[in-house]
Amino acid sequence: AADLRFTSEETTAFLTRTLGLHLSGEDIAALEARTEGWIAGLQLAALSMQGRKDISAFLKAFTGSQRYIIDYLAEEVLARQPEPVQTFLLQTAILERLQGSLCEAVIGEHGGEASGQAMLEQVEQANLFLTPLDDERRWYRYHQLFAEALRHRLQRKDPALVPELHRRASAWYEQQGLTHDAVHHALAATDFAQAARLIEQAFNSLVRRGEIATLQRWVAALPDELVRSNIEIAVLQGWLLFVSGKNDAAELHLQDIERTFGINPVADEHSEQQTMPSGAFSQAEIRGRIAAIRASIAVTQRDLPRTITLSRLALEYLPKESMARAYVAWYLGKAHWLSGAMGAASMALAEASHVSWEVNHLYAVFLVTHDLAHLQILQGHLHQADQTYRQALQQALERGGYQPAMGPAYVGRGDLEREWNHLDAATSLLQEGIKLCEQTGNTQVILQAYIGLAFIHQAQGDAGGASALMRQAVHIREWQHRSLPRDTQVEAAQAWLFLMQGDETAALGWVQRRGLSIDQELNHVREREYLTLVRVLITQRRLDEAKQWLANLLQLAEAQGRTGSVIEILMLQAEALHASGEMNQAIERLSRALSLAEPEGYIRLFVDEGAPIAHLLVQMRRRPPGDQPGSTHYREHLLALLGRAHDEDVSH
């Protein structure tokens, strides 16, 4: 019978023993997924594979439009059904999910006397490849190959009807408040005006939840002419271009909007008299949104004066309830951070968090939370940063449940757990963060997560896995073509990984490409690059250069109140002094670093350095108790981890 299904084990046995096919485990799994274990489908797939050399490629392309599938379903299934059932099957095949009233709306007057629910029950009882999706049998779906075959047949039989069916489905979904499905069917119907209207309506809720990738996909499906002529969609596209890392394209697009709609960046008597298309934003709000996008671009270019000017302009024009205000407040905080004014940045980010919660903009909440927690980490307050993440997650869960916007908090917490050497917990958090950030299109945080996972694999002794993850991060970075703070750190992280794995040549290659010079004015945003350079210099025994870099970096970090940075710089100073035989000074520097680090529980920072820190801790152990900083337990814990990780003898 056509409705019979095989289990995975039965599928393997059927393909290998009965049909005599010699397929890989991957190919068998792919075929089972495509046919859903349907026996006739497996047989038809086997027929289609005859004489083919690249079976894997065929299986990837195997659909219900294959000739054997179409012929079988046309002759053995569809032709044997009454005309009303044939009509029902063909016209409802455009739906991913089926429900009684939805089917009635799609079929319309061609549905006959039977209700949609009655027809679904009849089709299910006839074993016509229909699967219930819930216990109440309200929602169903067709077997994927069956649906594909029906759609193929409908397209050949009555192509003009297909857009109309999608249009009806879109209207039904809109009435039910199911915007995603409504937009999907409007686009499938090529009813772009309807799709644009739905996208405008859904914009705020999608952005609040962080579904940026969905918006990007929808707007990309609209014709360029519509995007340019619809003011709301045009402004949205400008923002999406920025989010995608296409700053130059975003600026050109904004200029095009200003020309097309006669918008002056700053209000004047003439522009106030101009009117926008019916139902669109006011002139003032358009100016505010454009200024907000330009402020965001200025942030990525690290142009502090322009960021502040544009942010103030945006706040002047944007309505009090506008979600864009949350972004503008965030840009101001980011601008202060980029300038090194950590106190001002902290206050501005706290205000941005307040504004984001006030306008219920969850996506902005977690962007701000991530930056605020990152600032706290730079200041050496790991536990405070952890609380910042946890409180935001808890508040968001109480307000609206688990959502993609939370991704940065998962990644941030994952990095903290990694530093505390809770590697399994860190891995879970980082992997979950990547899944969520992929839905929001937040590439910057995805890069951070991949780097964290790479160092976890290295810590666990999986150098190959670490290298693969880092290469993936570099690939994403190259694809993104964007220069936000921390983005340039991907290659620096890879160079540090090269050193950890003993590949000094590759690390030195990075140094030569970057062209860093001690004569350059230091910028704390590039600190990760500087510290990686110092590690390379120490490895090469260019110790005077390393010490000079570290002295300059320490002065800047202390001036800006970045205690987290101070700890790492002191540790590296200890390594450089140790390498040059200045043991007393080395121990003094490491002692200072440990005293600052112990209250916050730093672990991986020291353990990842390996032998130099282990040797210094052993030397410290031999000193009189009064000369040993911090608790013995902390130092011995680090020594034990260093011994296990690097096979060092730290027993005496």
- What string of H, E and C letters represents the secondary structure of 583-629? HHHHHHHHHHHHHHHHHHCCCHHHHCCCHHHHHHHHHHHCCCHHHCC
The highest-confidence range among 29-38, 251-260, 356-365, by mean pLDDT, is 251-260
Using alpha carbons, select from 574, 639, 579, 589 the residue that is nearest to residue 610: 639
Q: What percent of the chain has pLDDT over 70?
A: 81
- For the chain, the C-alpha Rg in angstroms (whole number) is 30
Interatomic CA distance for residues 634 and 105, integer angstroms: 69
DSSP line for 359-419: TT-HHHHHHHHHHHHHHHHHTT-HHHHHHHHHHHHHHHHHHH-S-GGGHHHHHHHHHHHHH
Using alpha carbons, select from 375, 367, 333 the residue that is nearest to residue 445: 367
The highest-confidence range among 341-345, 355-359, 562-566, by mean pLDDT, is 562-566
What is the mean pLDDT of the segment spanning 595-615? 96
Mean pLDDT lowest among 5-14, 212-221, 222-231, 238-247? 5-14
Give domain status of residue 120, yes or no: no
Give domain status of residue 565, yes or no: yes
Provide the 10 A C-beta neighbour count for residue 21.
18
Q: For residue 174, what pLDDT band results from cuts at 50, 70 and 90?
A: very high
What pLDDT is recorded for position 272? 46
DSSP line for 333-365: HHHHHHHT-HHHHHHHHHHHHHHHHHTT-HHHH
Give domain status of residue 512, yes or no: no
Contact by Cβ (8 Å): 7, 15: no
Which CB contacts under 8 angstroms, 24+ apart, belong to 529-532?
529/488, 529/489, 529/492, 531/568, 531/569, 531/572, 532/492, 532/493, 532/495, 532/496, 532/499, 532/507
Q: To 5 degrees, how large is the angle CA 161–CA 74–CA 38?
A: 110
Residues of the domain holding 539: 518-646
Assigned token pair, 196: 């644009």
Give domain status of residue 547, yes or no: yes
Interatomic CA distance for residues 504 and 524, integer angstroms: 25
- Maximum Cα–Cα distance for the chain, whole Å? 96
**DSSP annotation of 38:** B
Using alpha carbons, select from 525, 577, 519, 579 the residue that is nearest to residue 549: 519
Reported as half-sphere exposure (CB side, CA atoms, 13 A), residue 60 has a value of 4
3-state SS class at 429? helix
Question: The domain that contains 550 carries what CATH number?
Answer: 1.25.40.10
What pLDDT is recorded for position 377? 97
Interatomic CA distance for residues 443 and 430, integer angstroms: 14
pLDDT tens, residue by residue, 501-546: 999 999 999 998 888 888 888 889 889 999 999 999 999 999 999 9
Q: To 5 degrees, how large is the angle CA 231–CA 232–CA 235?
A: 85
The structural domain count of the chain equals: 2
Mean pLDDT lowest among 58-67, 259-268, 489-498? 58-67
What pLDDT is recorded for position 283? 79
What pLDDT is recorded for position 76? 60
What average pLDDT is seen over the chain?
A: 85
Residue 130: beta bridge partners? 142
pLDDT at 4 over 60: no
Assigned token pair, 547: 């010490």
Q: For residue 273, what pLDDT band results from cuts at 50, 70 and 90?
A: very low
Q: Sign (positive/negative) of CA torsion 604, 606, 610, 614?
A: negative
Give Cβ neighbours of residue 55 (< 8 Å, ≥ 6 apart).
23, 27, 49
Interatomic CA distance for residues 436 and 405, integer angstroms: 7
Q: For residue 483, what pLDDT band results from cuts at 50, 70 and 90?
A: very low
The model's pTM: 0.70
What is the mean pLDDT of the segment spanning 559-583? 97
Give domain status of residue 52, yes or no: yes
Assigned token pair, 11: 């599928």
Give domain status of residue 221, yes or no: no
Mean pLDDT lowest among 49-58, 166-175, 304-313? 49-58
Give domain status of residue 357, yes or no: no
* Alpha helices, H only, 176-282: 179-188, 192-209, 212-220, 224-229, 231-243, 247-261, 269-273
> In one letter, which amino acid is 649?
D
Write the CA distances from 414 to 431, 452, 474, integer angstroms.
Answer: 9, 8, 20
* Beta strand pairing call for 130-132 and 139-142: antiparallel
* Burial environment of residue 220 by CB neighbours within 10 A (0 to 12, 13 to 18, 19 or more): exposed
pLDDT at 3 over 50: no
Interatomic CA distance for residues 627 and 589, integer angstroms: 13
Using alpha carbons, select from 411, 481, 494 the residue that is nearest to residue 446: 411
Give domain status of residue 545, yes or no: yes
Q: For residue 585, what pLDDT band results from cuts at 50, 70 and 90?
A: very high
Reported as half-sphere exposure (CB side, CA atoms, 13 A), residue 536 has a value of 25
Mean pLDDT lowest among 30-39, 123-132, 277-286, 569-578? 30-39
Assigned token pair, 191: 């009813």
Query: Domain boundary residue among 17, 40, 62?
Result: 62
